[in-house]
Amino acid sequence: MKVSIRPERPGDYDKIDEVIEAAFNQRNEAVLVRKLRGTKEFVPGLSLVATADNGIIGHILLYPITFTGGVTLVLAPMAVKPELQKRGVGKKLITEGLKKAAENGYGSVIVVGHPEYYPKFGFEKASKCGLRMSFDVPDEAFMAIELKKDSLKGKGGLIELPQPYLECA
């Protein structure tokens, strides 16, 4: 299967919703993506889709947030059609997403996710950088990666996700 990664387009929104809803087996994350698209902070080039012969098969969103130490991106959500998971689609989405984030001048990305998955890409416990989440999350599940050397050094602080994340939790 040949997988390509590209920025999403307005005509993709319904298919993206379908992928996200199937991957998470609920609607909340699809609603979240729609709400984030409507904010002034949304960066269109950081919302990417994975495509294959049969259309859109995956999606990733990197969203800028301001915290006490500056600006970072939050990786959330990422989704791959259930029948195509564990075939490298997520890896391609994350790799390209991190590349695009760096190209857009961002120095770091945070994620709340599977502690056995994200370290493969260089994510480490965010607590190592002095970052903490405004809600309870297991230390091993809250991770960060520096895209620019020392971009989080000495910039620890409290991460408060924007309202759309809290509304869709």
The residue ranges of the chain whose pLDDT is under 70 are none
What is the DSSP code (8-state) at residue 11? G
The 3-state DSSP class for residue 145 equals strand
Fold of 4-167: Aminopeptidase (3.40.630)
**Predicted local distance difference test score (pLDDT) of residue 15:** 98
Question: What does the pLDDT read at residue 109?
Answer: 98
Q: What is the pLDDT of residue 4?
A: 97
pLDDT (0 to 100) of residue 17: 98
Annotated domain spans of the chain: 4-167
Q: Give the whole-angstrom CA distance, residue 17 versus residue 8.
A: 12
pLDDT value at residue 168: 80
Residue 27 to residue 22: CA distance in whole angstroms: 9
Q: What is the pTM of this model?
A: 0.95
